[in-house]
Structure 1
């Protein structure tokens, strides 16, 4: 489609600065469908669609937000020309950042090198597919004209933003907070977009966790009470909880689970930025391994800070009706009976679980991304929403599967004091006892409801996240 644009409204002479005004004027006339000297967003949408450049509502709105200097809802020729000139300058910087050998052309090896610096590993064959979607003359290299024409109406402003759709987003909240923190560009940090995205993700996580809270509490009950003698399953577990405390009891412990999202997200984001600075090289760049280590350490820092709330959530979920009047009553009773150290029971397996979870999560995501690029990226390197959601869901599920035994041990240690007559075992002792009495499958008690909540949790969190972004003006 960009070859069509290149031949129709961006002739070869357009690369000369002297002809830029006539080039913009030619293009403006193509978009000004009612010939009134102004282009509104409907005309932009229809005009670009007619030229074979369907951008989508979000990109078009971003162009108007940037270019409409007098905020009258229309772009006159002066505003249109100024937007494209400013955008070309940004595209020039992005082009130069990719053109490592300064020969005026981008090659596959340069794309591989640049994306590796940004923490994204792809093969040279995959880079060639990305090039192919931009290359207009079939040379398997991209010169400035081809680059400019391809991204002329793409509101992305730098190379990080252009490849951002392949970033492993942590928006998908499936109830466990062991993921690598989200990462933001310098522009997003300066504009304040980072906190809007974090807020959107936090609200999405709160709604998602509330929607799947009954399954989450059922998982905890099966982890703590399930055994060979007590064959609690999904149906009997739900009936038992409703019988004991009514329908409201299905959400017991959810308040703490929602409240801890905000401090954990904030601490994780702050710690991630600090650890990245420590591991960055002299140029301020950070590689994939360093990014993973920084993320894991940030997760450990956040978990350490909010871990007492994890214990409160488990105690409230496992507790009987009337045992605790709320979160503060629960905290007071635990402190009075067991002391301060009770708030860190299960801490070691919880921290150890971060490594397999984050490691498997990222590894599976990279493998799925690579498979998609190899087999399906024919015209574009952009995978689209559903591919990313699928990759994120599968990789998060695999991460949970890898770390689940440690999560079960953590929950048992947190709840041991509530089980009358049960010995107070440490992590190794619990592992040995579960394997001796229940076998390897005993380490996976409660994984059924855990997997059942993944699809609704992902769906809810994604929909709410997108709605929140729209309301905060970052869609």
Structure 2
């Protein structure tokens, strides 16, 4: 995510979109398992513990096979294509804005950490309000519906959206918006800040490996780990509020009932599969984004070089 020779707006959006769709297709089974574990109806009433990941894997595979692990993937992949494009574009655009306010420049020394924090927060709010909340609302319904008989089976992403709006109103797509905004703002703020700090540190101490694929993958993975633990409570509340027939009046109500019923550790329920997913997805997203930008630059320069040699 170098700031020199800034790519055009369309390229930032496209590169971010490709990065988001790529990581979703690779990591979605972990997202499916995490969502199932977070839903209250999959909690053992006697022991007050969630169904284990292994039980969910066995049950899903025996019932519908491998395709069952991709139930709701279309909704999330479409959402993530748009979300990731908006995320990377919003982050880099807002970072340029905050650089001017704080009078800092990347390359002229270490950037003010507050610039990355504010830029990440801005990107998280933008992506959650524009794309993530409706996409997550539909994904949660598809995952939950798959375990209840598959009323949405074969409907497709647009068909499910139409059914939800017709039955519950347009506001149903933004149910759980507060925890989603909180989660995404925390996600982007922590992820981009952690990644930027490591990126600057590596460039300063080990410039020979700065920018290569393996380094970007590793830094992205580490930023994903930090992000998971910081944002997990919001993710759990989001899933509960967006489940079919939402039973909570707001985020505070959801937090209170969850704490009373399931205890403090319920807020970190599903951490295992989400840790797997975000560790991989964060590394993949940063790497794919950088590679798309670099490839576009090479393709853009190739005709110029050919003309110069003629």
TM-score range, shorter chain: 0.7 to 0.9
Pick the structure with more helix per residue. 2
Instruction: Sort the Cα spacing of 1:302 and 1:352 in 2 relative to 1 into closer, same or farther, 3 A.
Output: same
Please give the alpha-carbon distance, in whole angstroms, between the structure 2 residues aligned to 1:249 and 1:461: 24
1:368, distance to aligned residue in structure 2 (A): 4.9
Aligned counterparts of 2:260 and 2:101: Cα–Cα separation in 1: 52
Q: In the superposition, relative to structure 1, how do residues 204 and 293 fare at CA in structure 2: closer, same or farther (>3 Å)?
A: closer
Task: Specify the alignment match of 1:210 in structure 2.
Answer: 25
Displacement of 1:388 in angstroms is 3.8
CA shift in 2, pair 1:202/1:474, >3 Å = farther
Q: Report deviation, 1:223.
A: 0.9
Q: Is the 8 A contact 1:228 1:438 kept in 2?
A: no
The offset of 1:362, in angstroms, is: 4.7
Q: Which residue of 1 aligns with 2:259?
A: 435
Name the structure 1 match of 2:181: 351
- Matched pairs, number: 283
Separation in structure 2 between the aligned mates of residue 403 and residue 317 of structure 1, nearest angstrom: 21
Whether 1:227 and 2:43 are equivalent positions in the alignment is yes
The answer as to 2:216 corresponding to 1:397 is no
Instruction: Report the alpha carbon displacement of residue 438 of structure 1 after superposing the two structures with TM.
Output: 1.9
Select the structure of larger CA radius of gyration.
1
TM-aligned CA distance change 1:273 to 1:359, over 3 Å: closer
Match of 1:445 among 269, 278, 284: 269
Q: 1:387 deviation in Å?
A: 3.8
CA distance in 2, matches of 1:261, 1:399: 17
**1:318 matched to 2:144:** yes
Shift of 1:361: 3.2
Shift, 1:293, TM fit = 1.8
CA deviations on 1:52-81 (whole Å, 9 max, x unpaired) are xxxxxxxxxxxxxxxxxxxxxxxxxxxxxx
Instruction: Give the TM-score of the pair, scaled to structure 2.
Output: 0.75
- Cα distance, 1:352–1:207 mapped onto 2, change above 3 Å: closer
Q: Is the 2:123–2:188 Cα contact (8 Å) retained in structure 1?
A: no
Task: Report the counterpart of residue 300 of structure 1 in structure 2.
Answer: 125
- Mapped to 2, the partners of 1:272 and 1:211 lie a distance apart of 24
Tell me how far 1:240 sits from its aligned partner.
2.0
Q: 1:298 to 1:457 in 2, by over 3 A?
A: closer
* Equivalent in 248, 253, 256 of residue 424 of structure 1: 248
CA RMSD of aligned residues (A): 3.5
Report the CA distance between 1:231 and its aligned residue.
Answer: 3.6
Q: Which structure's relative contact order is higher, taking Cα pairs within 8 Å and 6+ residues apart?
A: 2
Whether contact under 8 Å (1:227, 1:438) holds in the other structure is no
Superposed displacement of residue 236, structure 1: 0.6
**In 2 relative to 1, CA 365–327 (structure 1 residues): closer, same or farther, beyond 3 Å?**
closer
Please state how far the C-alpha of 1:254 moved relative to its aligned partner.
0.9
Shift of 1:347: 0.6
In 2: Cα distance, 1:413 partner to 1:200 partner? 32
Give unpaired runs (5+ residues) of structure 2.
Answer: 106-111, 300-310
SS in 1 for 2:298: coil
Shift of 1:328: 2.0
Q: CA deviation at 1:282?
A: 7.4
